[in-house]
Amino acid sequence: MATFLYKLGRLAFRRRHFVALIWVALLTLAGVGAASAPPAGTTSFSIPGTEAQKAFDLLEQRFPGQSADGATARVVFKAPSGEKMTDAGNKATVEKTVDELADGSEVASVADPYTGKAVSKDGTIAYASVRYDVSGMELEESTKHALEDAAEQARDAGLTVEVGGDALQAVPETGATEIIGIAVAAVVLVITFGSLVAAGLPLLTALIGVGIGVSSITALASALELGSTTSILAMMIGLAVGIDYALFIVSRYRAELAEGREREDAAGRAVGTAGSAVVFAGLTVVIALVGLAVVNIPMLTKMGIAAAGTVAIAVLIALTMIPALLGYAGRRVRPAGAKGGLLGRRRRDGKDGAGKAAAEKAGAEKETGPAKANLGTRWASFVVRRPLAVLLLGVIGLGAAAIPASDLELGLPDDGSQPTSTTQRRAYDLLSEGFGPGFNGPLMVVVDAKGSDAPKDAFTQVSDEIKGLDGVVAVTPPAPNKGGDTATISVIPDSKPSSVQTEDLVHAIRDAGGDIKADTGAETLVTGSTAMNIDVSEKLNDALLPYLVLVVGLAFLLLIVVFRSILVPLKAALGFLLSVMAALGAVVAVFQWGWLSGLMGVEETGPVMSMMPIFMVGVVFGLAMDYEVFLVTRMREAYVHGEKPGQAVVTGFKHGARVVTAAAVIMMAVFAGFIGSSEAMVKMIGFGLAIAVFFDAFVVRMAIVPAVLALLGKKAWWLPKWLDRALPNVDVEGEGLRTADERGSGPDEDRELVRT
């Protein structure tokens, strides 16, 4: 692989005009596709194999034309202090508002509070339910404005009016902190390279890659039913890995220049060595993201595949466009350690080139003194001397951070998790005040009596059975369909939608349904948004272990091929588990317990998003392997070239610690930039990934990994002989490049690469 990538890097360097033109053309094509594509329609949220989804599908079949997936709105009214909603003036205002809402072209129905018994017992709060023919994402802007105008007119009449539901659902915004994250990345790159040109290359290529990926997602959003969160996720991950991968190759290019190589050869060697690490690091990320398909939630699968596509683009750009841009940059990208031409321009001249470079380097050291050990070298030397102490400190620290994860509660965000500044959250609070906390999460019970001899009796029995359960505030009479074989019953719990008590009630209704079916032949199903959230959480919990085994197992096999070792990949996987558990603990502490919630902009604590654990496992594992591959391949490269195990660890840190540190800080800055999002899910993902990268890069890869390798010594690189013979030799260390260099390369190689 190293030889192939070496040729690819040299070809891209030499044919830079052609390579740049291809990527600019792809960006333009994707941009035109995004601009001309129809707006994204409804995003179906189906959960195959769950009872809630089965009931939802049954409703669409047995109650046709009722727009089961249509948008809904609850317009909540509160009377001024000392008045009631039943007063003549307030009642007239509400009825006028209901009439105005009913005139909307996309409105399916509006329920009057006074005829539908939607007035609180104390008479101070009432609500009107509005149902639309289309989903919230498909509503015309004029329909949304009409809803807002009707509420505003009622406010002008003296009432407190708020609107809940998904009718006013907005596309999530990431906020200005995303720009701050990119700015931090730029500053880190400038500090790392000491050159504006070198720092600008990773940023430029990452933005081009993200532009192609996100534009492609936008272009396909309508056809594939991709939600707005999909493009935000792709942007988040694509930007982070795009900068990191380019950073690795540019850094290696500067190191090759410092060894005295010509620019074209240095570009080829950078792609052949660091590019090999980028390929395998990218593969682990892609495996982790595509592996989300095992959960069997279509929305999550689409998000994973879209983000994986953006990562694949980032890898291809790093391998081709970076060497092309290095060709354009010329000598403005200085060798590593060069300051104002101290090292000068070193040319390799035939077989004696390496010797001349070494002589120049020795001469420079004679004039300036021996090179001072960098921070990475000093830290690695310390760890090699005290490996057990560093290992214990790292493991204990991550273990302490993981303690809150034992109190993890899962759920999906609802209006109760919205900021208090939103009308949806204020409507949620008003409904809780007037009708109880469970009113915001009613359960819909669907009774399928098609196989029953007495459907009406079955409906009544189900209703009576539910009334006798603990935690039930109200049960509406059964509402049968036209055929009389199916009925819906609305159940109001006495606890809020995201509580454990509501989850217990859902299971209690389902358990009671089993006995009813045995008696009457009627099947009882529980659905609605609350039940759907509960089923999603349980499905994700059940899928976590199989997903972990699949992703970690595949990546483990991949790393065995890369490192030609059993213990190094095993150590990498165990270290990842430590960092991801610590990150989950931090997420629980902030978003569930409320620690530092004000600093993070978390206005309402509650259960952690159901998708968070499995999503964090997938994404963090892929990203963690970036640093593992880049840092440890440098160590293996030194070991293969004859250094002792302890010295190989120090050499790996000498060349890789600065780059990995910069890459981790950049990735943390990019992820942290999404904490400012208005979407609770995006905010939580941004924080979780940022803190996970911190734990994994600075505790696991920078401390635990060198400590374990120092303790294992030569055993770290042990591989059974039979397995060594069976595994393909991918040559990530670039050992084959020595032979290629002695042969020299010319136009013939380029032509051969083009033919293949």
How many angstroms separate the Cα of 376 from the Cα of each of 64, 137, 379, 591?
67, 51, 5, 35
The helix or strand, by DSSP H or E, that contains position 491, with its residue range, turns out to be strand 486-493
Task: Return the pLDDT at 170.
Answer: 62
Answer whether 623's CB lies under 8 Å from 615's CB.
no
Q: Chunked in runs of 10, what are the mean pLDDT values of the chain (756 residues)?
A: 86 92 93 79 67 86 69 89 91 91 83 85 90 75 87 92 81 60 83 82 89 87 72 82 87 86 88 85 84 83 88 93 90 65 38 42 43 75 92 94 88 73 87 88 88 85 89 87 87 85 90 84 87 85 84 81 85 87 92 81 75 80 76 81 86 83 85 76 85 91 91 88 82 59 42 38
Answer whether 728's CB lies under 8 Å from 561's CB.
yes
How many angstroms separate the Cα of 381 from the Cα of each of 209, 393, 445, 641, 643?
38, 17, 65, 19, 15
Tallying the residues shown for the chain, one arrives at 756
- Measured from the Cβ of residue 345, the count of other Cβ atoms closer than 10 Å reads 13
- Measured from the Cβ of residue 720, the count of other Cβ atoms closer than 10 Å reads 9
Task: Return the pLDDT at 349.
Answer: 41
Answer whether 62's CB lies under 8 Å from 483's CB.
yes
The partner residues of 523 in beta bridges, in order of sequence, read: 448
Amino acid letter for position 29: L
Q: Closest Cα to residue 78, out of 127, 149, 147?
A: 127
Task: Return the pLDDT at 171.
Answer: 55
**pTM beyond cutoff 0.85:** no
- Measured from the Cβ of residue 511, the count of other Cβ atoms closer than 10 Å reads 11
Task: Return the pLDDT at 367.
Answer: 40
- Dihedral class, residue 528 (left if φ above 0, else alpha if ψ from -120 to 50, else beta): left
The partner residues of 165 in beta bridges, in order of sequence, read: 73
E-assigned strand segments in 512-664: 523-527, 608-609
Euclidean distance between CA atoms 288 and 754, whole angstroms: 32
- The answer for residues whose C-beta is within 8 angstroms of residue 195's C-beta and 6 or more apart is 332, 333, 334
Answer whether 254's CB lies under 8 Å from 335's CB.
yes
Pairing of strands 486-493, 479-480: antiparallel
Answer whether 97's CB lies under 8 Å from 128's CB.
yes
Amino acid letter for position 100: E
Q: In which residue are the tokens 């609770």 written?
A: 680
- The answer for residues whose C-beta is within 8 angstroms of residue 374's C-beta and 6 or more apart is 654, 657, 658
Euclidean distance between CA atoms 303 and 292, whole angstroms: 9
- HSE of 312 in the Cβ direction (CA atoms, 13 Å)? 11
Which domains occur in the chain, in start order?
1-36+175-335 (1.20.1640.10), 72-165 (3.30.70), 375-415+540-734 (1.20.1640.10), 424-534 (3.30.70.360)
- The token pair at 638 is 């030194």
Task: Return the pLDDT at 351.
Answer: 39
